[in-house]
Amino acid sequence: MKYELLNNEIFINNRKRFIKEMKSNSIAIFTSNDEWPSNGDALHKFKQNSGLFWLSGIEQEDSMVILFPDNVDSKYREVLVLVRPNETKEKWDGKRLRIEEAQKISGIKTIVWLDSLDALLQPWIHLAEHIYLDSNENDRKASLIRSRDYRLIDEMKSRYPLHHYLRAATIMKKLRSIKTKEEIVVIQKAIDITENTFRHLLKFIKPGVMEYEIEAEIMHQFLKQRATGEAYGSIIASGDNARILHYINNNQECKDGDLILMDFGASYGGYNADLTRTIPVNGKYTKRQKEVYNACLHLHDYAKSILKPGISVVDYTDKVGEEATKQFLKIGLLKKEDVKNENKENRAYRKYLYHGISHHLGVDVHDLGTRTSPLQAGMFLTVEPGIYIEEEKMGVRIENNVWLTKNGNIDLMKNIPIRAEEIERLMRK
């Protein structure tokens, strides 16, 4: 890993939180992600299972975490399973974790090698009444590939059919949506790296630069600051490309007079930042560009002002939609007749703002969290309204990341330039 060793209290506390939610006489088993083949004899870059990482901080393949708080042998109440270091494999692929290193990262004292697990696991299962197994319950999950966590479910139910199986994902959704102070420290580091990178870009961008050159600068700045890399594929969308929400071609020239929408964030210590800024390629907004930008900024500030514990995502989105309608009337995108005759299932403002305003953020960029229940203190979300105008070939989005508190929220990106005048001033320098 490139980042500095994290405080393992993050993972110790996460396991305590999960164990507190478990039924008595239960065992919970979490497995790492697969190493996915790409083409030929190559593999895709390994990405750890988010649940396993959240419990242990371990990013190595062929790993498992087993929690059995009622185990009669106290040594095996928390177990980290690792692949045994192999001299030949290490010559090709690099060093694997030793016991002491894994203990330091995770805070788990008992390390078991994967090739010796079966002999231990079977008697543990026989002692337990309930078995928690994890699966991907992200509402937007798209892949139907039978990944390792689902294959583990199949295997366990085949070998131990009479046990009572439970969904670890329901507990994970509840717990991972609430960020601890220790987690926020790591997220703030990812945000600080992202801020430094954005400030660098304000000096770098000018007419004639290619979108991919900006993308390269982002990666360069991230890695210089010990980030793992991008939290997601950076969106560098100049001109009309900004209306494509997940534009990743990043292959066009940035032209004088255009805006450029940049949606990017650093990944650090397994946690992610998610920033969007829309700036003028030549360093100066036109009158119309500033009008649209300030309308979007108004929506951003309004959304932040109402994003508090107790509000539901549905009500939050509706309120921002009402404010968007007012702003779009003000800047000439909508007419009173458009609003009067709108379809309540497809509001008039949706022509120019056609995505959600916020999503949960953390170990995953679209992290686990509620879409229906009221928001709670401790949740960490983006705030990202946008305005996309096909007739003017213009797209503007502004995004910060906020941590909900009992009394409101804390904007962890409050120091990143956001006002049009400040952006222009910094670009002039």
The domain ranges of the chain are 9-176, 181-428
For the chain, percent of residues with pLDDT exceeding 70 = 100
CA 253 to centroid of chain Cα atoms: 29
Residue 145's pLDDT band, with cuts at 50, 70 and 90, is confident
Token pair belonging to 310: 């107790």
H or E segment and range at residue 155: helix 148-159
pLDDT of 332 reads: 98
List all residues 6 or more positions away from 224 whose beta carbon is below 8 Å from its beta carbon.
none
Whether 76 contacts 124, CB under 8 Å: yes
Q: Model confidence at 141, in pLDDT bands (50, 70, 90)?
A: confident
pLDDT of residue 142: 74
Render pLDDT for 291-344 as a digit per residue (tens, 0 to 9).
999 999 999 999 999 999 999 999 999 999 999 999 999 999 999 999 999 998
pLDDT of 281 above 80: yes
Residues above pLDDT 90, as percent of the chain: 92
**For tokens 């790591």, what's the residue?**
186
In angstroms, the CA 379 to CA 175 distance is 10
**Across 39-53, 210-224, 264-278, least confident range:** 39-53
Q: Minimum mean pLDDT among 270-284, 316-330, 364-378: which range?
A: 364-378
User: Residue 382's beta-bridge partner residues?
Assistant: 401
* Prediction pTM value: 0.95
Burial class (CB in 10 A: 0-12, 13-18, 19+), 140: exposed
Fold observed for domain 181-428: Creatine Amidinohydrolase (3.90.230)
pLDDT at 137: 86
Residue the block writes with tokens 């419990």? 55
pLDDT at 39 over 80: yes
pLDDT of residue 270: 97
Q: Do domains 9-176 and 181-428 have the same CATH topology?
A: no
Q: Which pLDDT score is estimated for 140?
A: 77
CATH superfamily of the 9-176 domain:
Creatinase/prolidase N-terminal domain (3.40.350.10)
